[in-house]
Structure 1
Amino acid sequence: MKTVHKIILFDGVCNLCNGAVQFILKRDEKDIFRFAALQSEVGLQLVAERNIDITSIDSIILIEPGVAYYTKSTAALKIAENLSGIWNLCSVLLWLPESFRNIVYDFVARNRYKWYGKKEACMIPTPELQSKFL
């Protein structure tokens, strides 16, 4: 049986987002996730196939192929529930109303470049991590 990986689309030039990818990579002990920058050819193809308007969604996107896709706080919490350690306990926050969770998410998203900075280009994965990126 072929393993279907969940796909995380992230802002490839955002330092906070790149840090989040590194954080997830270290805690993805079950090899659940694959990654693509939103700006990449693969990322643009995946959002186009799902009719996701990335001009109006300033967010990380989690795609569960054949199931659904999630954005903003829901994506972040669905990712966390698949991580090793105590991070999967974050999924209890999914019980809070999404509109409330997204107030916090949107505040951080709006300020991420100011607080964490921005790269000129998307990160290039090391050869050891290349298989994790689409």
Structure 2
Amino acid sequence: MNLPDGHPVIVFDGVCGLCNGWVRFLLKRDRRQRYRFAAMQTGTGRGLLLANGLDPDDPMSFLLLDEMGARTDSDAIIAVLIGLGGAWRMATLCLLLPRVLRDPPYRWLARNRYRWFGRKRTCFLPDMTQRHRFIGL
């Protein structure tokens, strides 16, 4: 996988209220501007999902592409938090819990995300100061 400018890419659901909140959370805390973002509703996002075996029409996970490859579910969440550095590296402790126990709650949340957090009519659009961090716009 060729990462844009060597930056990890997060493919997220651009119309999901929870997913948009996650992206805003990361934009605020990723002071090194490590991550790039692609909404799964864009051609780029759809292509990345398909290339990594995920259905862009029934997304149950977001996708992290980094130097380690493609990661989904709780592995992706933990890796992103660790990548923020600082105290966020404590997320490493979550890896002590086996994936078989971490992923079912993640998938349960993913299945119910629209019901609990809402669905937007349009994809999240960054402001001009953050636009360079989004690919496929």
Asked if TM exceeds 0.5, the reply is yes
How does the TM-score come out when normalised to structure 2?
Answer: 0.87
1:45 is aligned to 47
Tell me which residue corresponds to 2:84.
83
TM-score w.r.t. structure 1 length?
Answer: 0.89
Deviations 1:30-75 (A, max 9, x none): 221000011111101222333433456501110015x310001110
Cα distance in 2 between the residues matched to 1:98 and 1:57: 19
Give the corresponding residue for 2:70: 69
Q: Which moved more, 1:13-22 or 1:56-65?
A: 56-65
Contact 2:8 2:66 in 1 (8 A): yes
Cα distance, 1:95 vs structure 2: 2.2
Is the partner of 1:79 in helix, strand or coil?
Answer: helix
Q: Which residue is 1:10 aligned to?
A: 12
Deviations 1:110-132 (A, max 9, x none): 11111111101111111111001
Match of 2:133 in 1: 132
Q: Distance in 2 between matches of 1:42 and 1:54?
A: 11
Partner of 2:105: 104
Aligned sequence identity (%): 37
One-letter amino acid matched to 2:31: E
Q: How many residues align?
A: 132
State the distance in 2 between where 1:55 and 1:102 align. 21
Between the aligned partners of 1:20 and 1:104, the Cα distance in structure 2 is 17
In the TM superposition, what whole-angstrom CA distance separates every residue of 1:64-98 from its partner, at most 9, and x where no partner exists?
Answer: 15x31000111000000011442221121022111
- Please give the alpha-carbon distance, in whole angstroms, between the structure 1 residues aligned to 2:122 and 2:84: 27
- Residue in structure 1 matched with residue 29 of structure 2 by the alignment: 27
Correspondence for 1:121: 122
Structure 1 residue identity aligned to 2:103: N
Secondary structure class of the residue paired with 1:23: helix
